[in-house]
Amino acid sequence: MVDVLDYTEPQTRAGLSLLCTPGNDVESTTALAGSGANLIMFTTGLGTPTGNPVTPVLKIASNSTLATRMSDVIDFDAGPIIRGEGRDRRAGRSLARDVH
């Protein structure tokens, strides 16, 4: 970790930074966009359809039931990873393809 940032404080150093945000989904994604994020990888277990008008939001479902039920707003199903199915590397490559 290279830095700890306040709400919407710009990231100025390369590397992993901790951004302090409220727990609310919309407020936290706004803070990430305000800090200069190029992509927000948003994980959800309930299916919050959070987006952002400035920064693309990749929505990651923590379970396959949610990913199936809300396939119109979910971009990646992390259910197989959580259940320990398949190989983590394969799932990681799949997520990397979605990001690129």
Average pLDDT on 24-39 reads: 90
| Position 83, amino acid | R
Task: Judge if 43 and 87 occupy the same domain.
Answer: yes
Whether residue 36 has pLDDT greater than 70? yes
Q: Containing domain of residue 99, as a range?
A: 38-100
Q: What is the pLDDT of residues 90-100, one digit of tens each?
A: 777 777 777 76
Q: How many domains does the chain have?
A: 2
Task: Judge if 49 and 33 occupy the same domain.
Answer: no
Tokens 């700890």 label which residue?
A: 4
pLDDT confidence of 14, banded at 50, 70, 90? confident
Residue 33: which residues within 8 A CB-CB, separation 6 or more?
A: 40, 52, 54, 55
Provide, rounded to the nearest whole percent, the portion of the chain with pLDDT above 90.
47
> How confident is the prediction for the chain on average, in pLDDT?
88
Task: Judge if 42 and 30 occupy the same domain.
Answer: no
Task: Judge if 19 and 48 occupy the same domain.
Answer: no
Task: Judge if 42 and 28 occupy the same domain.
Answer: no
Task: Judge if 43 and 84 occupy the same domain.
Answer: yes
